[in-house]
Every structure is written in structure tokens, then in C-alpha cells.
Amino acid sequence: MNAIGHLLCAEWQKTTGNRWAVGTLIGLFPIMAVVILILTTLVALGGSPEAMARMGIASGGQVAYWPDYFLFAWAIPSTPIGRWLLIAFTAVAFAGEYQWGTWKNLAARRTRASLVAAKFVTLSLLIVASFTLMSLILGFGMLLPVSIAGGTYGPALDGPLLADFAGRYLGQAGLAFASALVAAGYAALAAIVTRAILGSVLIGIGAFLLEEGLAVPLGLLGTLFHRPEIVALIQLTPSYNLQNLLAWARTGGGHTFPPLDLYAQPNSPELSIVILLVWIAGLIGLTLYSFHRQDILN
């Protein structure tokens, strides 16, 4: 194995060795998939028809749409709870080294940039692994309760459907990944700045909340200074662009809301992707830069 391989391997061992954090913050997703499967199977075995309907199990010849189950996992990183968990996980990976006083062991052995980069790569791998696993467990697993309940798990697979599904799947997964990376970027930067797990979590979550509530102060500023178009600045934030891409994928039109629609067109998908990439690169770059300049004191 070469040097980079060793570094990644070490990072992976260290991160997954923190059983507790991995279990509750990232392993939670595949575990949740298994729990959902068990519950639905139980309901399929003994529940009333209403209960089955409520659990989304197609019974008596109805059709359960399997692409939904495969895609479900990838919607999670865009939900608040999913995002908070990812922030907490990133916080443990980055701020943990301060808390355990272990940066001093590492920083002497490697360049700081490669240490931070290894952390981001490891996090990405873990995140992709976790959601892929969840997606596969749910997607294939649901066949069991649905067939027990006597429903159909459809539609039947053919070439065009597969191509369409693959496209949607990759799009959804890519979006989820981008969303996760933005969250990780905030948390990592906050970890470097506050040097504490809790501080990193709070600031990471705070940044997202701030971003989502940004319309209010921008709107207020706009009215105060009689420049209502200021509110369109919101189209530069990651949250907006993530939602915008989702909206494009779902409805074929961009994301907007009053009073934003009065002043600006929704970003095009390409523009949104570029803006997101700039944010991700910017946050990671800023993390690297702050870490590079930092005194390691403990």
C-alpha cells in the first residue's frame, strides 16, 4: 500500500473504531432500514388492511412502486434531522481530535492538508456506503412484506424503465451527496474554529438555520432601503440551490416563492450546480486554510 492508502486506511479504522459515534450517527440509516423492514413485515403478517395501507404496503393485488423505496434513502440528507446527524458525525471526526488531544500525534507525521483531505474522503465514503446500504436494504427488502401481503412489487423491469430509473437514482444520490458535503463543510470549518464537538455541531446547525431563514432579514433590509430585489441574494445560498435542483428534478421548473418570484428567475440547474460546487470547494478550502494556519495547543 502506498502512503495515501495508509493514511486513508488509518482514518477509516479510527473513524469506524469509534463504534458509538458511527453506530448512532451514520450506521443509524441502514439500521433504520432494517427496523422499517421488520415492522412492515410484521404488519404484513398480522396487521389490518388499514394498518397495511398506512405502512405503505400494497396488498390484494395493488402495486407498490419499487423505485420509491430505492430512492427513499437518498432523500434523507436533505431533511433537517438527516442533515443534523451528518453535521454531528463530521463534528466528531474533526473536533474529536481536539477533544482527545490527538492532533499533535498526527500533525507531526503528515502535512495538515493531507490529514484534512483524508478526513473528507473517509467521511464521503462512509456517507455513500451508509445510504447505499440503506437504499439497497429497503429497495430489495420491501419485496418481502409486499409479497406476503399479496401485493405486486412493480413495475416490471425493462430497458427504458431501467435507464430512466438509473438516471433518477444517480441524480438523487448526487444531490444527496452534495447536500451531505455542504453540511460536512460547515461542520468541519466550525470544528477547526471552535475546537469542540458541541461547538461544531451548534455552529453547523446554526449556519443552516441562518441560511434558511435568510429571506426574512434580506426582505427586511430590502424594504428598509427600498431595494426589495436584495432578497434575490438568497439564490446564492446552498440551501436554495439544493431545493432548486430538487424542484427541477421533480417538476421540471425551478424553486421560487413569494416575494422572491417578483425579483428573480429561479437559477438554472447548471448554475445551481456551479454555485453548489463553489460552496463545497470554498468550505473545504477554508477548512484547510484555517487548519493550516492554526496553532495546535493540546
Partner 1 sequence: MLDVQRHANLFRAEWQKIAGHRWATGLLIWIFPMGALGILAIMLLVALLAPPDIQRNFGLASVNGSVDWTEIMLGAWNIPNEMFGRIILIAFTAVIFAGEYQWGTWKNLLPRRRRVPLIVNKFVTLGAFVVVAFGAASLIAGLGMFLPVKIAGGQYGPPLAEALQSDFVRNFAVQAATTFTATIIAAVYAALGAMLTHSILGSIMIGIGLMILELFSMGIFALLGSLFGHPEIVGLYQLMPSYNLSNVASLITHQPSVNPPFLLNYVAPNSLELSVLILFVWVFGLMTLTVLLFRRQDVTF
The least distance separating partner 1 from the CB of residue 33, rounded to whole angstroms, comes to: 17
Nearer to partner 1, 47 or 254 (CB): 47
Query: CB 17: neighbour CB atoms within 10 A?
Result: 10
Nearer to partner 1, 98 or 120 (CB): 98
70-109: contacts with partner 1 (CB under 8 A) = 88, 91-92, 99
31 binds partner 1 (CB under 8 A): no
202 binds partner 1 (CB under 8 A): yes
199 binds partner 1 (CB under 8 A): yes
51 binds partner 1 (CB under 8 A): yes
234-270 b/e with 16+ CB inside 10 Å = b? bbebbbbbbbbbbbbeeeeebbbeeebeeeeebbebe
Judged by CB under 8 A, which of 161, 166, 220, 281 binds partner 1?
220
160 binds partner 1 (CB under 8 A): no
In Å, the largest CA–CA distance within the chain is: 66
The least distance separating partner 1 from the CB of residue 225, rounded to whole angstroms, comes to: 9
The least distance separating partner 1 from the CB of residue 52, rounded to whole angstroms, comes to: 9
26 binds partner 1 (CB under 8 A): no
46 binds partner 1 (CB under 8 A): yes
The 223-242 contact track toward partner 1, x by CB under 8 A, reads xx------------------
Nearer to partner 1, 38 or 113 (CB): 38
**Binding range to partner 1, per CB under 8 A, among 47-55, 115-123, 179-187, 290-298:** 47-55
54-73: contacts with partner 1 (CB under 8 A) = 55
Report the alpha-carbon distance of residue 8 to residue 198 in Å, rounded.
25
Judged by CB under 8 A, which of 64, 149, 192, 201 binds partner 1?
201
In the complex, the residues that contact partner 1 under the rule CB under 8 A are 20-21, 24-25, 39, 42-43, 46-48, 50-51, 55, 88, 91-92, 99, 194, 197-199, 201-202, 206, 209, 220, 223-224
